[in-house]
Structure 1
């Protein structure tokens, strides 16, 4: 009997990244970003501070990330957010909602018949609690299916563990309001859920001489069992370190051929 080939498959998780890019108008920075995303095999990238101006935004794509959903500032090269999806995700967009000032972007659609809502948020460095509360209200009415939120909140959510000095730039009452808004959406800080006793930071403030963790990826509480790893990387070409997450997905990828005899 002649042997016949069988393809062996294994799970192919989603790899998610959130990063404050500190400007992507320089071509070399866009090239570096896209190269890093491909090297890390990132499936979904939440980007903040792209600094693109509406009507004059440069091209942000490659063959591996052929399309980028962007929310740009209307008059200046500041703020700006984007969501990049890997080509092989075969994401089918259902709806999109963006901020007029390039501060948030909500994007939902289907991957292999499952509905996902992806959101990225870049919070201003004042009135953080008020802005986060309003943005999460919009996200609440927009969300369908599995929700994943990545962003730069511009505030350590826990004074003692998210700041090297034990201080926050806003009051304890404002922090409680932010945490309440997150709880209302059942959103949990993924890195903290995987590293409850660890301290790592994503940004260094020269003026205050303070390390802080102000960049986050959140998922709904019932989805936390899907997390495989959560990591904070070193800052290289940006002044923020990337937050990365690997979660279970419905995808399978071929690995090798196996041979078996004909029955």
Structure 2
């Protein structure tokens, strides 16, 4: 049989990892669960972070299909409110190792392996008040639980940069509370993926009837060292829920880098002349860019 060298050299391009987060505003009605599962399937979602499932512990209805055969849940102990879930596509072959479940149905952390790579998947749903305290406490628990690549998706009920993440340019959350949340995220090296890809854009995920304003309060976060894996980050249209989904496409775990990643030679920081030059460049950078036209996260 004749050989065909050009065929053997063709590279296989695995599908990207498709991650979405959505506040579902209740999934106890069968039609809403069917709508969700059809939407996830049509968009070929690999990992889905869900909030406000409204499942009561011990009374959760089935949330699965042939494409999403299992769902990890964190339910409210006494009422049909709150509730979060993580769904993974059957083809992803996610091998769970351990999970941490919030007894009040506000967060769910799962770690496991995809293609022999360790991932930690976290979904959170912050309350409508005391968001700063909740996020600080839950992310503190997440910090000690995390292994491998950390992916966080959820509704934190806060526009992180009110000037551009709220249609009115402001928020009912105090600036002090927002700074506290930003500091908590920074301590875990978590970066808002959509904002990283759209530094100056204005798009929103929810409309508040009470406050009569649109806001971006639904997020997917990655740690800084994994941002280069992002391909796209988009906000979808709210249809059957009152929140628009946030969707992230990132490199498949099947992809292996062909070149080594650049790394700073730490010994350079012991050289006084290098340290002086770096200090001068940083001072110049912030002097030129801190003009009030761009948010601090972009700078």
- Normalised to the residue count of structure 1, the TM-score between the two structures is 0.93
RMSD of the TM alignment (CA)?
A: 1.3
More strand by proportion, 1 or 2?
Answer: 1
Deviations 1:193-238 (A, max 9, x none): 0000100000001121100000000000010000000000000000
Equivalence map 1:187-226=2 (5 Å): 187-226=190-229
Larger Rg: 2
Deviations 1:133-177 (A, max 9, x none): 000000000000000000000111111011000111211111110
Which residue does 2:248 correspond to in 1?
245
Which residue does 2:96 correspond to in 1?
93
Tell me which moved more, 215-224 or 243-252.
243-252
Which residue does 2:277 correspond to in 1?
none
Question: 1:224 & 1:114 partners in 2: Cα distance?
Answer: 17
Aligned with 1:69: secondary structure?
Answer: strand
Are residue 170 (structure 1) and residue 173 (structure 2) matched? yes
Relative CO higher for 1 or 2, CA cutoff 8 Å, sep ≥ 6?
Answer: 1
Aligned with 1:54: secondary structure?
Answer: coil
Question: 1:61 & 1:169 partners in 2: Cα distance?
Answer: 37
User: What is the deviation of 1:10?
Assistant: 1.2
User: What is the deviation of 1:8?
Assistant: 5.9
Question: 1:2 & 1:227 partners in 2: Cα distance?
Answer: 41
User: What is the deviation of 1:183?
Assistant: 0.3
- Give 5+ residue unaligned stretches, structure 1: 253-263
User: What is the deviation of 1:2?
Assistant: 4.4
Question: 1:3 & 1:173 partners in 2: Cα distance?
Answer: 68
Question: 2:35 & 2:25 partners in 1: Cα distance?
Answer: 13
Question: 1:55 & 1:11 partners in 2: Cα distance?
Answer: 39
Which residue does 1:160 correspond to in 2?
163
Which residue does 1:77 correspond to in 2?
80
Q: Indicate if the aligned counterparts of 1:16 and 1:43 stay in contact, CA closer than 8 A.
A: yes
Which residue does 1:128 correspond to in 2?
131
Aligned with 2:118: secondary structure?
Answer: strand
Which residue does 1:261 correspond to in 2?
none
User: What is the deviation of 1:249?
Assistant: 1.5
Count of aligned positions: 252
Question: 2:122 & 2:248 partners in 1: Cα distance?
Answer: 15
Question: 1:234 & 1:131 partners in 2: Cα distance?
Answer: 28
User: What is the deviation of 1:112?
Assistant: 0.9
Equivalence map 1:103-114=2 (5 Å): 103-114=106-117
- Normalised to the residue count of structure 2, the TM-score between the two structures is 0.82
More helix by proportion, 1 or 2?
Answer: 2
Question: 1:62 & 1:81 partners in 2: Cα distance?
Answer: 18
Are residue 9 (structure 1) and residue 12 (structure 2) matched? yes
